[in-house]
Chain A
Amino acid sequence: MNNLLFFMTLIAIGYVVGTLAEKRHYRSIHEREKKFLYLPAVTIKTVTHPDKKIASAELVCGSAVISIDYFKRFLASLRNIFGGTVKSYESLIDRARREALIRMKEMAGDATVIVNVRIETSTIGRNANKKGVGCLEAIAYGTAVTLEK
């Protein structure tokens, strides 16, 4: 009975804190995405401008690590029984990817465009903690190109 109570408390804490943290993070993501709208990040491999017009081209990357909360983990393990889309993980991956993109743009500073953008994800800390409370890392990288004025 005590175990169950402990478990329910963890889930409740996970839900309340996790939801608040997620809302705050999304607000911040929206704000910063708006701020960086002037800087396009695209997947085309290169710009069509002649070489002498390009002032600099350098590697930029941004990465974000987001941890799962207890509630989401429980919801996902329930999903493991019944199958279906693991909706509770979707927002985690979305946040990690968008945060990584924003950080990449922050690193690019006043570049004109970021080309050849790639996003990769990986889980970390899963083996270190057998209980399965893993973290998710998204890393975004690309080439920041600055054109001559």
Chain B
Amino acid sequence: MKYTPRQPGSNVNVTPTSPLREFFLLTAGLLGMVIVIYMVLGLAMDLIVPRISTDLENRIGGLFIGSIEAKDSDSKRGSYVRSLLEDLQDRCARLPYLFKVHIRQSPTVNAVALPGGHIIVYTGLLDKVASENELAFVLAHEMGHFAHRDHLRGMGRAFVFITISTLLLGTDSSISKMLAHGLNITEMSFSRKQETRADEFALETLHCDYGHVAGATDFFEKISKAEDPGKFGHYLASHPESRKRISHLENIIRSRGFKLGKPKPLPQTWRQLKE
């Protein structure tokens, strides 16, 4: 046999391919998968939320509450807020929830609705309010989120997983706890439509309870006038366009013929209660 030295004409071990084409194809495939999962979860969300019973919601809420109750503070102002909320619920906003108010020490000017009837009120908000009506409006706004079950949707698509794991494994399961832990519940996002509906609910409640709607727009006026955007950044981020919301509320007040009465002041001891 004769040995003829030669170089191989083509390389069979390397596939002739364009790596960039493969890169874009695979990335597009991955992106497609993510989009499909996202959409399926969105559909599942719409399917699940109206069917969740208050009982199941309380159980899901129980998953978060441990970490929230640990941060409760300011019991004096808290009990005032609690009684105000109970009055609103008894007289006007009859919702099937046993509301529980948690006061949290934070400069954030905000309140958050959580599953199971838990409402977190930040001390930043308590420091800013000037009248009982104004506080009542913010509380009623959060109750509006409960009435429309926005607080469940607001938790985002991870809520689907939490519901399924709570149903299948119960609240004591480490998986449910891990899922709940991974979710940043205090940073919920609501759509503009959800906010508008909650505003309308709050306005109705305010009118029903006080007979007039003084203080309804005070809170947003304050925010839009605020010079320091950092301080109100959080509230503005999750509750956008306070100017538009003020004019929407004013439109309803005008068309429904709601009266603007004299706002009820906060208790004399409010400033002292702070300590």
Question: B7 touching A75 by the CB < 8 A rule?
Answer: no
Question: B19 touching A87 by the CB < 8 A rule?
Answer: yes
Interface size for A (C-beta < 8 A) is 23
Question: A78 touching B15 by the CB < 8 A rule?
Answer: no
Q: Does A45 interact with chain B (Cβ within 8 Å)?
A: no
Question: B22 touching A75 by the CB < 8 A rule?
Answer: yes
Q: Does B6 interact with chain A (Cβ within 8 Å)?
A: yes
Name which of B5, B11, B14, B29 has the most chain A CB atoms within 10 A of its CB.
B14
Chain B residues, Cβ within 8 Å of A93:
13
Question: B7 touching A94 by the CB < 8 A rule?
Answer: no
Q: Does A20 interact with chain B (Cβ within 8 Å)?
A: no
Name which of B3, B26, B30 has the most chain A CB atoms within 10 A of its CB.
B26
Nearest-neighbor residue (CB-CB) of A97 within chain B: B13
Chain B residues, Cβ within 8 Å of A91:
14
How many residues of B sit at the interface, in one of the four size bands? 10 to 19
Q: How many A-B residue pairs have CB under 8 A?
A: 44
Interface string of A54-88 (1 = CB under 8 A from B): 00000000000000000110110011011001011
- Stretch from A34-42, A122-130, A132-140, A141-149 forming part of the interface with B: A34-42
Q: Does B247 interact with chain A (Cβ within 8 Å)?
A: no
Question: B19 touching A94 by the CB < 8 A rule?
Answer: no
Question: A94 touching B14 by the CB < 8 A rule?
Answer: yes
Question: A81 touching B5 by the CB < 8 A rule?
Answer: no
Q: Does B20 interact with chain A (Cβ within 8 Å)?
A: yes
Q: Given the known A-B contacts A78-B30, A81-B30, A90-B14, are A15 and B20 also in contact in the complex, defined by CB atoms under 8 Å? A: yes
Question: A75 touching B19 by the CB < 8 A rule?
Answer: yes
Q: Given the known A-B contacts A15-B20, A88-B19, are A82 and B7 also in contact in the complex, defined by CB atoms under 8 Å? A: no
CA–CA, A88 and B14, complex, Å:
9
Contact check: which of B11, B14, B26 meets A79 at CB < 8 Å? Answer: B26
Q: Does A33 interact with chain B (Cβ within 8 Å)?
A: yes
Question: A78 touching B27 by the CB < 8 A rule?
Answer: yes
Chain A residues, Cβ within 8 Å of B13:
90, 93-94
Nearest-neighbor residue (CB-CB) of A90 within chain B: B14
Query: Which 5 pairs show the lowest CB-CB distances between chains A and B?
Result: A78-B26, A37-B5, A94-B13, A87-B15, A90-B14
Binding site for A on B (CB under 8 A): 3, 5-7, 11, 13-15, 17, 19-20, 22-23, 26-27, 29-30
Binding site for B on A (CB under 8 A): 15, 19, 30, 33-34, 37-38, 40, 71-72, 74-75, 78-79, 81-82, 85, 87-88, 90-91, 93-94
